[in-house]
Amino acid sequence: MKFVETSLPGVMVVEPTVFGDARGFFFEVHHAEKYAAAGIDRAFVQSNHSRSSKGTLRGLHIQVEHAQGKLVRVIRGTIWDVAVDVRKGSSHFGRSVAVELSEENQKLLWVPEGFAHGFVVTSESADVLYSCTDLYHPEHERVLAWNDPELGIPWPVKDPMLSARDTKGSPLSSFR
C-alpha cells in the first residue's frame, strides 16, 4: 500500500497493492496499522454507497460540527473527486485538489476533517463507497458552492446534474 501526499497537506491518495491472477484480484482497502503509520489514525464509524449517472455532481459538502474525514473509493465507473480546504486560519484555505478515482486505477482518496468534498461522475455511471470518521448529522452540514469563481475548480463538465441543496451552495467567503 502506497500513500501519496497531494498539494494539500493531509489529503492523500492511497494506492493499494493489487494482487491479481486469472481468478480476479484482491487488495486491502483499509489496514489500521498501515493507515496510522501514514498519519491517518482514525476509526471509521459509517460507510456509504452512492450510485450516480454521468454528469452528476455531488457536493461540495462538509459538516461544521461532527466533522467527517472521508475515505473515498470507486467500485464501478469513474469520478473526478475534489477536496477543498475550508479550515479557518489554514494557509491553504480555499485551495483544492482533484484526483480521478476509478474501478480501473483502484485508488482511494483520504479527505480529512476540515475539507469540503465533492465529485462529478465522468463515466456513464459510478458506484462510490466512502467511509466516514463521524456519523452524518444533516443539521450540521453545509454546502460550498461547486462553481464559486473564487475556488476556480476546473470541473470536467459544463452543466452538471445537481440536487436541490447543491444548487444552493454558499460562497467560499461565508466559510471564513
Residues with a catalytic annotation lie at 61, 130
10 Å Cβ neighbour count for 47?
10
87's grid cell: 479550515
* Helix H or strand E encompassing 71: strand 70-76
**Phi, psi dihedral angles at 46 (to 5 degrees):** -150, 135
Nearest to 120 by CA among 94, 95, 154: 154
Is the C-alpha dihedral spanning 147, 63, 41, 19 positive or negative?
A: negative
Alpha-helical segments (H) within the chain = 32-37
CA distance 155 to 134: 28
- Please, what is the Cα angle at 100 between 99 and 105, to 5 degrees? 120
